[in-house]
Amino acid sequence: MVRIVLIDDDPISTFVTEKLISKNIKVPFQIYKYSNAINALKEIPEIEPNYLFLDLNMPEMTGWDFLEEFHPENNSPEVYILSSSVDERDIDKASNYSLVKKYLSKPLVKKYIKTIFH
């Protein structure tokens, strides 16, 4: 079972991402959705996700704050930043995190999903 975590405070973005994944993944999967990074950080150790999609701009705890606090012990998921920011500084900063596989622009598109899950 593939476990996928979506962390995004925008319900429309989460809905679109979930539908895109559902239509394009060919193996059994479970999606866990969080509207804030604080709750996700508490529950992720039990989930042990294979993939994690992370928004950057959220209240309370940003995606950057999450990355600073997130230290998986048993397995390291592929982390994809999913952001509406096209600021080169954000893209460069993302490359400094070894857990971050790729920086993707919102909205998530089918070609990214196919690349990630195949």
Which domains does the chain carry?
Answer: 10-110 (3.40.50.2300)
pLDDT over 90 (residue 9)? yes
Mean pLDDT for the chain?
93
Residue with tokens 């999967």: 29
* Closest CA relative to residue 31, chosen from 56, 54, 2: 2
- The pTM is what? 0.94
Length of the chain: 118
Question: How far is 88 from 92, CA to CA, in rounded Å?
Answer: 6
- For residue range 55-104, what is the model confidence (pLDDT) as tens digits? 999 999 999 999 999 998 878 899 999 998 888 999 999 999 999 999 99
